[in-house]
Chain A
Amino acid sequence: MVNEKKTDWKQLVRQRLCTLKLPHEVTEDVVAELAAHLQEAYETASASGLSETEATAFALQQIEDWEVLAAQISRAKSTEDPMNARTKTLWLPALASLFASSLFLFVLTEISMRPPLLVRLNSGAARWLYATWIIGQIACGALGAFLSRRVGGSRTARVVAGTFPAIVMLASCVIVIPVSALMEHNDFIFHNPGRLWWGAFLWAVVPALTLLLGAAPFLRESQIRNARRIQIG
């Protein structure tokens, strides 16, 4: 409830716009401007013969939902790119790395299904295909870390972006496979947990190492950025 005797409009606006996500000076600027607007609306209503209570209510009826207003102002005043920093430095590079890794696996699987290789899968060809995929992970890790570094990603973001395919594989082994086995009442992996761990090692741990190997050159600060820092300094 507003004290209609002597409304401190600035205090009122500041309290009701407490969810504004803006720097302090900008927030104070907005508070001052909106408070001045409300005060003038109140004075105009008072001058037209409304009581103080009615005039206050008249001024405040312009805002249905203060939280919505705060969100709209935050968005309008924000100078941040609609695509936030985390999306640019982490998720997009991570997805690029995952896409490259999956595409390569898909291509190798397609090749392995062709007759000349299909018959030799049990005679070691599968190992060669796996080894080829593992070596390919160096390029995938490099891609993720490179894309992240290019847009100013932190070292952690570059590591995660580079090793993202292995993280997804690990999640599959630890969560997706056991849960789907439970749902399908398939108790093979519960009787043979070693198989699951061996799978996790082959499809998550080993790829993680090679992805990291590819990402390694991009974990250092870029020379361009260092040069910029020196110039600014």
Chain B
Amino acid sequence: MTALAQQNPFSVHTPEDMLAPDVVSLFVDVFTDFYQIPKSGHTFLNGPRGSGKSMMFRYLQADCQCLTLGAQLWDLPFYSAYVPIKNTDLKITELARLHARHADVILNEHIMTTYVAAKVIRSFSTLDITDDNNQFADELRRYYRGDFVSLLDAGGFDTTSLPLIPADASLLAGFRIVGDVLDAIYRKVLLYLRRLSFSPNDLNYSGPLLGYLDFLVPFIQGLKQLSFMPRGPVFLLFDDADNLNDTQTRILNGWVSSRTSGDISIKISTQLAYKTFRTTTGQTIDSPHDFSEVNLSTIYTSSHDKYRDRIAEIVTKRLKNHSLDVSPDIFFPPDSEQENEIQSLAQTLRDRWSQGQGRGFRAGDDAIRYARPEYIRQLRGASKSGHTYSYAGFDQLVHISSGIVRYFLEAASQMYAEQQARMNSGALVTVIPPFIQNKVVREQADRFLFSEFENILKDADEAQLNRAAKLRNLILALGGLFYETLVSDRSERRVFSIAFSDTPDQELRDVFALGIQYGYFHESAIGNKEGTGRTKLYILSRRLAPYFTLDPTSFAGYRFVTSDVIRDAIARPKTFLSRVRNGVINADTLESGQLPLLSQEEL
């Protein structure tokens, strides 16, 4: 058992820093859902921070794959090299000196190529490759002296003073020397950038220039020929590619468009803020022509059971690593008093259905649809006496985490820490009391809507500020509307989504896009109102359910709305909600014959 087991079982670790045994013991295989990722071909993997992208990339790396499959390196179906794009690794401020001036594309491509090549070489440093007769080390040495030197020569690098790989050097030592050479090339361009800091006109660069097609592709193809390498493709795992600057993003798109996926498949993770899908020549790359696309939150929004099963498996594994053999439902129990009352209401609804007073096709339909909303309705006004809806229970917690694994784990980690603090030192936490579960998810909902939103609202750009203010109003209006719907007499009360019955303009689409980027909305698709095609469905994040007192357990219901209604809700959310409550706006159609003119927007 590694050190992980001694900590909070729900602690979130940076996957990059985790050892292969820990990754394999904690990872839940999701590649049946995301089958494109471990297959040959370029793939974009989009999802908010914490949705499990980096963990997937870590699991795809060779040390984890060897452990999982019980195989040697050369038996693996593919080889993966992790290419993290940290904030200031590639996005160096001095590069702005080159923008639209001097070999901007060529120098950025050289920087990226060298960086990726070095990361590929570094990926071997964590592998334990058995090389009894130094056969592999010999192969690497020959490759280094032959193809590698030729490629560097062609790129303009002076290879006369290259270090030699000694005949008795191990494979690892050989890779270290190759890595040092690539580091030296990278260092040279960094020195050039340093010179640019305060000398905007001193642009002459005399170092080597390495590109994707003329260096990186043949470099990797050469490595693939070494007998310890897998026969399948090499995956370049670009993690957090949103951190590339605009030029670098266009260069990467050019790589994606270059159809090298048989040998090299580029897997790109983004946090939904990828700068552009255009290449340096202005052309676009498109799915599925150039790449396949996986949107994590969309998949989990449309298939909740898969997500629940995945979280249950993650929790079970983590508890087991912590010597706790207990199911997630037992570890995170619901508020039993509340559940009993909801069950009692469900029974009443079933009885009514039997007496011919039901609304659904089956008695069970009415119980599922209306028991929990009815319970929440009965609490309306009672909250002042301290009686509020409890969001405890594994199922509710899964729903509230809204398709993002880290949201579940962070909440669970905080609950665990709070319960541990209440117990005697050394005692084992075997259950999280409902009141702690409820308290933590409520605090997180408040933080999500207020503290985290403040950061967006204060963004400097005037256009973004305006859009963020509209987004906040949109969330408040829709959250309020969904609550009013929940406590109404409508046949479908558990609504969390809207779809447009007309075509929203760019301004509205931009507001929703911002909401999706920051995780306040998810995007899916449904049949349009006319039944002639598909239209976008915008789903409010279930993380907000505790703030608006919504039932998080179902998201089947949605409302069709017009652009005018949403525009009105964004401009005047309080007025909009008060008109819904007062019946001025028809709660079913969300339409009003006479909208009073208001001079002041509530922005």
Please indicate whether A and B come from the same complex rather than being unrelated chains. no
B→A interface (CB under 8 Å)? none
| Contacts from A to B (Cβ < 8 Å) | none
